[in-house]
A and B are shown apart, each in its own frame.
Chain A
Amino acid sequence: MTEAKLPIISIQNITKRYPGAPVAAVDNVSLDIMPGEFFVLLGPSGCGKTTLLRMIAGFEIPTSGTILIDGQDMAAVPPNKRPVNMVFQSYAVFPHMSVEQNVGYGLRIAGVGGDEISSRVREALELVKLDGLEKRKPDQLSGGQRQRVALARSLVMRPKVLLLDEPLSALDAKLRAQMQFELSDLQDEVGITFVTVTHDQDEALSMAGRIAVMNKGEVAQLATPSDLYEYPANRFVADFVGSVNLFEGKLTLDEPDRAAVDCPGLGKVYLNHGVTGSHGSDVWVALRPEKIYLHVPGEGKAIRAAAQDAPEDHNLARGHIKGMSYLGDITLFEIKLDSGAMIRVSRPNLSRHDQEDFTWDDRVSMHWRADSPVVLLS
């Protein structure tokens, strides 16, 4: 984001308050979206992400704040005059029009000539791989095909920004995975800025260039997918994106190149980097399940060897396996620590017999690397 480009969408202090609602749906949100970006608004239902998207499209009027699209203030611009197009959650394909008529609708309204309409419609249908279905009616199409019609109908308008409201939520799991890749490819191909709303973290992580995680009308964190996962800014993001073990603790060591947290639930946690926080303050330690190694007790040497990046008695825990679920590629363990706290550990099944290594009520030891835990202040 260091390029000297101007943002295609600039959202400045946008607030949306519905009459009678006690809290704002969108609360003082500011963010810039760069040209050609695949931007995702991620959050649980009711977090304000769809409201924000609809304000960009012009279907909701902000209570306060400014939205600039390509440098132009959109306050007085109605939806039908904005240089953005939207793919709706229900696709909203016109049922009484054929595929061709659907895709050509916007061009017809704009008064484009018949020859240009048919060539641009053909082009758009080829882009979404729907060529050959021009004459079909929407009720003769599958859900995935209808979505492609909605995509083509928007792309044919050559908008500066394409807005997508939960574009994949109505598709089944396999098709969704396929469409995630196709959407990314399509975005590369057309070079249009995509702004997508989703509640599905997998969808967000796999497609996005940058993600804004929203919670209760505010942006909880804005980052690239890997930063969001590996460096969550707060407990909400850590918990919402992926799964995580959270433990409360006190900061006992706080130096520029190392830190330590004493967690009553987990034990002593050592980090090989500094954290922002003052000595003795209350913090949370977030530890992803896949970053924890499981051992059979008695492999003491192995543990010590593995945990040598931390001082003695740090980054180690012991407990009993209380629950197991075998998911094929990985096995999930629910482990009751000696402190009484529960921790979740996932373990890849690297060989066909890996799932036989542990079973219910087994006593296990765990360790993790000193760069794995994340210390959160809020």
Chain B
Amino acid sequence: MALFNRTPRAPLEYSRTLWLRGWVTAVMVFLYAPLIVLMVFSFNDSKRNVVWRGFSTKYYVKAWNDSTLVEALVNSLTIAALATLFSLVLGTFAAIMLWRFRFPFKGAVDGVMSLPIIVPEICLGVAFLIFFAAIDWPSGLIWPFNLSAITIAHITFCFPFVTMVVRSRLASFNKEQEEAAKDLGASEWQAFRDVLLPHIRPALVAGALLAFTLSLDDFVITFFTAGPDTITFPVKVYSMVRFSVTPVVNAASTVLIILTVVLTALALKYQGVKSIAESH
């Protein structure tokens, strides 16, 4: 009988187990169906988003011509880039400080440093609102200085993530390597550049990606810190959705998704995965 002629399943050949295949498919659908629906309907030739009326790219054109939407996107990308840059530098040095040195109240500093990760975003948002109002942070400046408050807020909640990633990478660093570099004549800075930096590079890439995406899609904190004249992409989408979910929103979101996916893929291809694999 055919049923009994099947070759038996090897111990790790899980892909041949029927229930497991079904389970994995269900998880995939659950995770990615909404994204796929969003992307598919961005090409829908209809004002309303529920029924498929044929293929069209007109909403991409419409989104491109919506100057406030483009402005919001440019703002978001600018904030994300600046926040990434600053949190990368700050976060890396904080990680190195906590890893390398012993100093009084180190435990307390360590705890306070990761506070922005733990504190609910809404609290941070309110705190920033009150803080910027209290110190009378100037608003209504010209671009890109009108983004300064949001950028500062973003750096605050992004850099602890960089610190976290870089620190876990530093834990696997063999300090004898740095000593070996110095033994061979390298100065403190040369040893850092030639030995420590290459070791933590994958963590820097991962940390930067994390900071960039966290900043790009942040809504709550941005909403509280944005002045009346500045708008970011998530805030703009939110205000558009309040009127109606048009395919313009879908189109803009699809562009953003593709942008982040491509960036991540490039970063992983040229730095991350390869050096992570090499170092283990």
Q: Which residues of A contact B (CB under 8 A)?
A: 57, 59, 78-81, 84-86, 88-90, 92, 94-96, 105-106, 109-110, 137, 139, 150, 153-154, 157
- CB neighbours of A80 from chain B (8 A): 182-187
Establish whether residues B195 and A94, one from each chain, have CB atoms under 8 Å apart when the complex forms.
yes
Bound-complex Cα distance A314 to B179 (A): 58
Bound-complex Cα distance A57 to B199 (A): 24
- CB neighbours of B186 from chain A (8 A): 80, 105, 109
Establish whether residues A109 and B190, one from each chain, have CB atoms under 8 Å apart when the complex forms.
yes
Establish whether residues B182 and A94, one from each chain, have CB atoms under 8 Å apart when the complex forms.
no
Question: Is B176 located at the chain interface by the 8 A CB criterion?
Answer: yes
User: Which of B180, B184, B278 is A96 in contact with, Cβ under 8 Å?
Assistant: B278
Bound-complex Cα distance A106 to B181 (A): 8
- CB neighbours of A86 from chain B (8 A): 179-180, 183
User: B176-202: which residues lie under 8 A (CB-CB) from chain A?
Assistant: 176-177, 179-187, 190, 194-195, 198-199
Question: Is B174 located at the chain interface by the 8 A CB criterion?
Answer: yes
- CB neighbours of B184 from chain A (8 A): 80, 85, 105-106, 109, 153-154, 157
Bound-complex Cα distance A70 to B55 (A): 83
What's the least CB distance linking A346 to chain B, in Å? 39
How many chain B residues touch A (CB < 8 A): the figure is: 20
For A109, give the chain B residue with the smallest CB separation. Answer: B185
Q: A80-B187, A88-B176, A90-B176 are in contact. Are A105 and B278 (CB under 8 A)?
A: no
User: B193-230: which residues lie under 8 A (CB-CB) from chain A?
Assistant: 194-195, 198-199
For A156, give the chain B residue with the smallest CB separation. Answer: B184
- CB neighbours of B183 from chain A (8 A): 57, 79-80, 84-86, 154
Bound-complex Cα distance A202 to B179 (A): 28
Q: Could you list 12 further interchain pairs (A-B, Cβ under 8 angstroms) beyond the known A84-B183, A92-B176, A95-B278?
A: A57-B179, A59-B179, A78-B182, A79-B182, A85-B183, A85-B184, A86-B180, A86-B183, A96-B278, A109-B184, A137-B278, A157-B185
Establish whether residues A95 and B279, one from each chain, have CB atoms under 8 Å apart when the complex forms.
yes
Establish whether residues A89 and B176, one from each chain, have CB atoms under 8 Å apart when the complex forms.
yes
A-B contact pairs, 7 of them (CB 8 A): A57-B179, A59-B179, A86-B180, A90-B176, A94-B198, A137-B278, A157-B184
- CB neighbours of A89 from chain B (8 A): 176
| A84, A90, A92, most chain B CB atoms within 10 A | A92
The 8 closest A-B CB pairs, nearest first, are A106-B184, A92-B180, A92-B176, A88-B176, A96-B198, A109-B185, A92-B177, A80-B182
